Structure 1
Amino acid sequence: MREAPPPLLPILRSQVQGQLLATTYLSPDDEFTVTDLARRAGASVKAMAHEVSRLVAAGLLSDRRVGTARLVRRGPRTPMTGPMTDLLAVTYGPVPVLSEELAGVQGVEQAFVYGSWAARFHGEPGPVPGDVDVLVVGDASLDALDDVAQRAEVRLGRQVSVHRVSRDRWESPPPADAFLASLRSRPLVPLTLAKDDAS
């Protein structure tokens, strides 16, 4: 049975394709292993390898072999590259952009996108989200998180709000915290904070 088009960008064939294209197009100078791309998208390595092969054949991605690793990056620049990058930024961009921006911030233990963008990502119908809400678990500096939000806003072309909670507050049993209880009842999209190990 064919997967339904993803609500964030229905012109794409799947959620995996959207995440793959956003990761590569929004970090055009980076290369990613197929294993890392699969981990980021929550897909099997086999499914990701198949999707990569389709997009390489279409000229949208480039790949090369280094030993046993297959390294993948955005394809050569064409007249479509700029508009496609912009479209991916405002649809699938929050996960790769925020994962990258938060990865080097000291004190960030976990992070999630929540709110309307997360709901669309999980398939709930509705209008295009106007902003992106992020929950950070840990003791990261509020100034550092504000800097992350500002950089992400420039890259994503929309408002980004970052809310920080302590590890103790995050792990407190419901209904101790009404905000977190409400947040947990709705879709959450985890952000990948670890760098690729190039394996």
Structure 2
Amino acid sequence: MSLSAWSLFCALSLITAFSPGPAVLLAVSNAATLGMRRALVSSAGNAAGVVLVSATAMLGLGALLKTSAWLFGALKLAGAVYLIYLGIRQWRNRTSVFDAASHAVGARAQPIARLFLQGLLVATTNPKSILFFTALLPQFMSSEVPVMRQFLVLTLTFAACTVISHLCYVGLVRGMGRWFASSARARLFNRLSGAMFVVLGVGLLRLRNNHAA
């Protein structure tokens, strides 16, 4: 892959990664309620999910997803249900974000493995992301270079862009800690982010597969 092609892929990856979506919202809500370190655990899970999604596309399952209506529907339903579940849980959270006691409670209630799995599930249960990789990766791959090498370069580049975007969003939330100190503002944030999760879940349910028979 030429440097110019890789630079273009980086630019597209950064634009996609910085676009607000379920993964970004999860990182922001975890940063506000659990702190920066724990938010990055879910971001690491999301990056791992990106690798799995990319591998899925490379194995040809992305093409199968395009043509199989029931597989597309099942994955879409799973992703939507999980996002709506996250939204309801966030809406019902009444703790004050950035409160020391709340940090301690939140840390015990959210084990590292569970946070990692959150990010992983958000990345892998969205059929739109699999279709995205199916359409994007072939545009930057060459028949003259080993497939595995290209897969690793492109996938790790996109995963790195994802982590960078989450770091920026998490840092922004961290810098607004004083604004969130009020319990009323904390509840407002929880309800807004919870509602956004639900909206994203409903939006995923409305996603149509124009290629499926």
Length-normalised TM-score, structure 1: 0.23
Higher relative contact order (CA 8 A, sep 6+): 2
Q: Which has the larger radius of gyration?
A: 2
Q: Which has the higher helix share?
A: 2
Length-normalised TM-score, structure 2: 0.22
